[in-house]
Amino acid sequence: MAQPPLVSIITIVYNGEKHLEHTIQSVLNQTYQPIEYIIIDGGSTDNSLSIIKRYEHRLAYWISEKDNGISDAFNKGLRRASGEFIGLINADDWYEPDTVEKVVAEIGNNDIVYGDMKLYKTGQVDFVLKGNHLYLAKEMTINHPTVFVKKSCYENFGLFDERYKCAMDYELLLRMMTRHCKFKYIPSILANMRWDGMSDTRWMLGCRETLEIKNSYFPDHKIRNRFYFYKHVLAIAIPKFLQKLNLDWITRNYRTRFSRVKKEYH
């Protein structure tokens, strides 16, 4: 009987003591085996290292040292990964218990699989964010914590581009798409994210990086790309304004009915 494929999971963390253990347990308690678990710590000064050491006997590899940002941290983990498939889950996020089992069952001849993500605010479910790679050329429509990529794709098409500080996941997935990697959507919740307390001070940088990335891949569509840049900015700025006016229901109605990235509110 053929052995099930090895799956590598990478967690990057920096001063993430509040939720790191929850993330670790969500990986170690998966219904699927074998899993190779790698943790890349950016030189934490809080209790993160003691949490990691508590589980180090079940880790394939971990390191704590300063890095040059999120992309650099991801790449450190990717260079260590030896699994046939690789997932990335950050220290504020966590998997569903059967996430890896579902991924391995569904990936088949595809290169990249992804699914839905449940977002929590102040400890309560806020909404479920649907994924859809068909609109990836226009905007980021895939939930990166749910993504699993075949190792061969990284070997053939490269790791994260360390020039980008916010939109590195979008650039990577767009690069894979333009190299004709096969995507598959799993209509199931694969990952969870806490978004209360998330800093949004760099959202404009993310919008600018997204525009730069699209111009590099679709240079013949710079006018269209600029249009979507303004749309992207407004899609973030208007909900912030409506929230201040206690008019969140307008945003919820739009995202549920009209947005390409569908959201199911609870």
pLDDT digits (tens, 9 = 90+) for 198-225: 445 678 888 999 999 999 999 999 998 8
What is the dotted CATH code of the domain comprising 7-194? Answer: 3.90.550.10
Q: Residue 49 and residue 44: Cα distance in Å, rounded?
A: 7
What the block records as the tokens of 12 is 């990057």
Cis before 5 (ω within 30): no
Which segment of 100-109, 216-225, 247-256 scores lowest on mean pLDDT? 247-256
**Are the C-beta atoms of residues 113 and 191 closer than 8 Å to each other?**
no
Query: Domain map of the chain by residue range?
Result: 7-194
Q: Which residue has the tokens 């400890």?
A: 123
Taking the CB of residue 224, how many other CB atoms lie within 10 A of it? 13
Q: What is the mean pLDDT of residues 15-29?
A: 97
> What span, in angstroms and rounded, lies between the C-alpha atoms of 216 and 235?
23
Strand partners for 112? 149, 183
pLDDT at residue 107 above 60? yes
- Decide if pLDDT at 190 tops 50: yes
Measured CA angle at 239 (ends 117, 216), to 5 deg: 70
Predicted TM-score (pTM) of the model is 0.89
Q: What is the pLDDT of residue 199?
A: 47
pLDDT above 90 (res 49):
yes
The candidate with the shortest Cα–Cα distance to 146, out of 199, 180, 187, 206, is 187
Q: Which position has the higher pLDDT, 122 or 199?
A: 122
| Residue 242 pLDDT > 60 | no
Residues 6+ apart with CB under 8 A from 32: 4, 7, 98, 100, 101, 104
